[in-house]
Amino acid sequence: MSDDVEIRRRVLTANLDLVRLGLVIFTWGNASAVDRERGLMYIKPSGVDYARMTPDDIVPVRLADGTVASGNLRPSSDTPTHLALYRAWPRVGGIVHTHSEYATAIAQAGVPIPAQGSTHADYFHGDVPVTRGLTRSEVEGDYESRTGDVIIERFVQGQMDPIAVPGVLVDQHGPFSWGVTVEQAVMHAGTMEHLSKMFVHAAAVAPRLRRVPRYLLDKHYQRKHGPKAYYGQKPG
């Protein structure tokens, strides 16, 4: 199986998984993966119904200039955002954008998802941040590219590692997540939605915000992702 066929299959599966997990309704989302050796990003076509999408519909886009490498379908309108993140973060191999209910509600409120407990710490080494709002000129200009820029800006300002904090809320827009693979990006999208629900429920029970102590945050993150990680089984 060629690399092209395999990556198309994986990107299609990732997009369908967003529907299966309840993170996407209608055509409100997209997943992509990058092949850095060939300089291509593969992404969902714009506005195409998930139910009739095939691997051949997945659109290859040149990482260098954003042009479509083959086929007649237009890529997702969020393509420039995905490209900006891939160019900025070489370790990222897959990106997901959704308008999942709880994470989008929190993005519309313009607040981060705080690290309140060990479940959060298993996947995010700190709060899920929220970006600043885009300016009028940014929205009226190259909007999707500027969306990528404000995400990158937020991570630079916060001195955050995008692998350790694999997601963000774009103010008044919605969540983006990523990972080393597109499959991991989907998992992080689902995780962000679950963390968002828990944040809302915790705030209803105890309105005063409680944060997980740093030592517990570090412990749970490092036991899964650190150099001496011991969660799960050894490879091989």
Question: Tokens 């891939």 correspond to what residue?
Answer: 86
84 occurs within a structural domain:
yes
- What 3-state class would DSSP assign to 226? coil
Which of 4, 57, 122, 218 is catalytic? The answer is 122
What predicted TM-score, i.e. pTM, was given to this entire model? Answer: 0.95
Tell me, what's the pLDDT at 151? 98
Q: Would you call 82 exposed, middle or buried from its count of C-beta atoms within 10 A (0-12, 13-18, 19+)?
A: buried
Residue 26: band (very low, low, confident or very high) from pLDDT cuts 50, 70, 90: very high
Distance of CA 217 to the CA centre of its chain: 21
pLDDT digits (tens, 9 = 90+) for 218-231: 999 999 999 989 98
Tell me, what's the pLDDT at 232? 85
230 occurs within a structural domain:
no
Task: Compute the C-alpha angle 125/131/132, nearest 5°.
Answer: 150
73 occurs within a structural domain:
yes
164 occurs within a structural domain:
yes
236 occurs within a structural domain:
no
User: Smallest Cα–Cα separation from 96: which of 18, 26, 6?
Assistant: 18
135 occurs within a structural domain:
yes
Number of domains observed in the structure of the chain: 1
| Complete edge-to-edge strand list for the sheet that includes strand 94-98 | 59-62, 40-43, 29-35, 94-98, 174-179, 167-170
233 occurs within a structural domain:
no
Tell me if residue 122 is catalytic. Answer: yes
Measured between alpha carbons, how far is 40 from 68 in angstroms, rounded to an integer?
9
pLDDT digits (tens, 9 = 90+) for 79-121: 999 999 999 999 999 999 999 999 999 999 999 999 999 999 9
- What 3-state class would DSSP assign to 123? coil
Residue 2: band (very low, low, confident or very high) from pLDDT cuts 50, 70, 90: low
Residue 1: band (very low, low, confident or very high) from pLDDT cuts 50, 70, 90: very low
Contacts of 141 by beta carbon, 8 Å cutoff, 6+ apart: none
Is-contact 18 24, C-beta < 8 A? yes
Is-contact 198 102, C-beta < 8 A? no
Tell me, what's the pLDDT at 233? 84
* DSSP for 33-102, written as a single string: EEETTTTEEEEPBTT--GGG--GGGSEEEETTT--B-SSSPPBPTTHHHHHHHHHH-TT--EEEEE--HH
The CA-atom distances, in angstroms, between 115 and each of 125, 180, 217 are 8, 22, 8
Distance of CA 204 to the CA centre of its chain: 27
56 occurs within a structural domain:
yes
CATH number for the domain that contains residue 8: 3.40.225.10
pLDDT digits (tens, 9 = 90+) for 168-213: 999 999 999 999 999 999 999 999 999 999 999 999 999 999 999 9
Give the range of the structural domain holding residue 32, as residue numbers without chain letter: 3-225
